Each structure stands twice: as C-alpha cells, then as structure tokens.
Amino acid sequence: MPKHPHENKTPVESLITILREVPDPRLDRSKDHELTDILAIALCTILVGGESFYDMEEFAQVRLDWLKTFLTLRHDAPSHDTFNRVFQALDHNQLADALSRWTQSVRMALGGEVVALDGKSLRRALNQGESFRTIVSAWATESGLLLGQRKVADKSNEITAVPELLRVLELSGCIVTADAMHCQKNIAKEIIEADAQYVLALKGNQGTAFAEIKLFLDEAVERQAPHLVGKETVEKGHGRIETRRYWQSEQIEWFADRQNWEGLRSVGLVESVRESNGQRSMERRYYLSSLPNDVNQFARAVRGHWSIENQLHWVLDVVFGEDQSRARTAQAAENLAAIRRLAVNILRRDKKCKRSLKGKLMRAAIDPQFLKHLLTN
C-alpha cells in the first residue's frame, strides 16, 4: 500500500506542512503575514479556550516569542482585522480537506469502524436574512476523530454535500451511518463504491418504501418471524430505564425497489422503550442496510451513530461555545468551525493529560509546554 505523503513526518511537521497546503486567497502584495502563521495562531488560540479574532490577536501578542520558535512571523502579531479578513476569504472546503488529510495521516486504520454522517447548524453565525449555515461531518465513532467536513448553504443541501464528502475520505471496510435525510440512493451507491457498508435511517422521505418496510417489519416482529435476528439491551441510570430491541432481516425479495439501492442486503428495526418517573414512551426506527444478518453489527452501527451528538456536537457547543460564536461575515463562521473541529481531534488524540477536554483547554492556557505537546502529539 502506498504511503500517505505526510506519513514519515512528525505530527507537528505534518500539521504545519498541511497548513501550508491551504490555498491563500490573498494577493501577494497584501500579505504581511503568512497564511500558515495565521492558521496556526488561530488553532493555538482555540486550544487555550479562545473564541474570537480579538482573542487570536491577544494570544499572538502575549505568546509572540514562543510562536516564533516554530512559525515565521516576520512582523508583529496579526491584528484581529487580519484574522477576520483571512477567515472571510478562505475557501471552506479547501481548508476542511487539508485538515482532513492531516487527520488521515495520523490516525490508525479504520477498517470496521462506524463512521457517522450528520449536519450541525452554526446557529448564531448569521447575517440578517440568511438561513442557518450548516456543516456536515464524518465522525469515526470509536476512535473519536472527525474525518472530514463539508459546508452547505442550508439544510436541504446536505443531500448534495454528503456525496462530495464521501469522495475525499478513505472508508474501506467501515460501516457508514446516516439519518433519514441522507437515506438516498446516490449516497448508498457512493458508500458501496468506497468499499464500505451502510446503515441508513428510513423515514417518510422515501415515499412508499418507508410504509412498506415499516409494515413488513412490524408484522414480522408481531408474529416473531423466523427470518428475523434480534437482541435486547437494558440500561439503567438517573432514575431511568431504557430498553432497546434490535431486529434485522435479509428477507427483502418482496421489496420492489431493492435493485435501485446499491448493495442493499437487509432491513432493520430498533425499538426504544423509556421508563422514567412512572412514565413510559416507545419509539421505533427503521433502517436500510448493506450488512448481512448480524444483529450485533447492526446494533453497534445504530448506537455508534447516536454518539455523534454527545461526542462531537455537544463538545463543540459546550466546550468550544460554537452556538455562541458571533462570526457573521461570509465564510468566517464556517472556517472557524473547521479549526474547532481540528482542535477536537487534537485534544482527543492526547493521552498524556487525563483531564476532560475542557480541563485540557485550561491546562494548555497556563502551560505552554503542554500546548506544544498537543501540537506535536
């Protein structure tokens, strides 16, 4: 297998090299600071808990001598206006793809891992009259790494952004999961062509397919049909009991549209029953999958997909304050989001500090050696 072009570099060399590969949209005569320096300072600022362009300027002023040990910085610290202009001008997908290449250069092989696809809106990153800006992410649920991202103009465009994202990722042997918005024939085809498997949530956006599969699985569960494989899990905590039942079936010959779903081999059902404070609720979800009958793999994929909410989206909002970000101009919000997601990867890769992600931010803020460790880890 050919080596990744950054495979023989140390992580910090690889990271700086990757940042140098991001195309600079500025005219040469307007450059007082190297783009690599601006991006590296922005990343360091995020890693110490900073959020704004003003924070980046202040961090660079205070840590200028330290930054010069591994950056060019021919002039004084860049101003907040410089950070703002650069982040407005950067092409988000070019930046995101470069950061994704760094992640792929330092991660372990992903064979068999569950990769969850999901979108997240940048809720406060709006100008008047604009719709929410959305970033679609591919999240490796077991290694806890963001593999790649794509921006979309609005929620409906996630359908076109996902195939673009899939094409730049190395997914061979993985199980790719997605919610009902991404349960599309072209997305299933892209996943199979990437030598991966899929588990796609199914809802009414697929016309009669949802009604047909729901009826088939509900009736099969009711009569305990022998073609079903199943398992049950029970979780207790915080005064709540949650029982999940998983069923899967390869009996899909009756499904008239099956030939149009590349690689389709099974359909699945997950029933979640929650009991809390004397109240009981039940929900059923339905899935299309390229997996053969293996209910443990099916359950692992479904559970893995749910983790993107608390392992990535919650971290971005609570630890990094993404929902409170006020970067509103052009692409600045999306490009800051890309840097935050790189910071999540760096913090999750660190095994030296046993503190929470928020604790690691505090440690990096007060200990330059630990911050350097994060960059070279």
pLDDT in tens, 171-207: 999 999 999 988 999 999 999 999 999 999 998 877 7
Q: 325-348 burial, b if ≥16 CB within 10 A, otherwise e?
A: bebeebbbbbbbbbbbbbbbbbbb
CA atoms within 13 A on the CB side of 258: 16
Q: How far is CA 80 from CA 52, 61, 320, 349, in A?
A: 8, 11, 19, 29
Is the separation of the CB atoms in 170 and 104 below 8 Å? Answer: yes
Residue closest to 297 by CA, chosen among 178, 180, 177, 211? 177
Q: Which of 150-164, 177-191, 224-238, 249-263 has the lowest mean pLDDT?
A: 150-164
Mean pLDDT of the chain: 87
| Ramachandran region, residue 25 (left: φ > 0; alpha: ψ -120 to 50; beta: rest) | alpha
Helices (H), ranges, 245-331: 295-308, 314
Which amino acid is residue 243, in one-letter code?
A: T
Per-residue pLDDT at 13 exceeds 60? no
The DSSP-derived string for 320-347 is S-GGG----STTHHHHHHHHHHHHHHHH
Higher pLDDT among residues 153 and 320, named by residue: 320
Does residue 368 contact residue 63 with C-beta atoms inside 8 Å? yes
The answer for 207, left when phi > 0, alpha when psi is -120 to 50, beta otherwise, is left
Continuous H helices in the chain = 11-20, 35-47, 53-62, 64-67, 80-89, 92-106, 158-167, 185-193, 208-222, 295-308, 314, 332-349, 357-366, 368-376
- Where residue 326 falls among pLDDT bands split at 50, 70, 90? low
pLDDT attached to residue 54: 95
pTM score of the predicted model: 0.84
Task: State the angle between helix axes of 332-349 and 35-47 in degrees (0 to 180), rounded to the nearest 10.
Answer: 60
pLDDT tens-digit series, residues 40-92 = 999 999 999 999 999 999 999 999 999 999 898 988 899 999 999 999 999 98
Which pLDDT value is given to residue 24? Answer: 92
DSSP SS3 for 21: coil
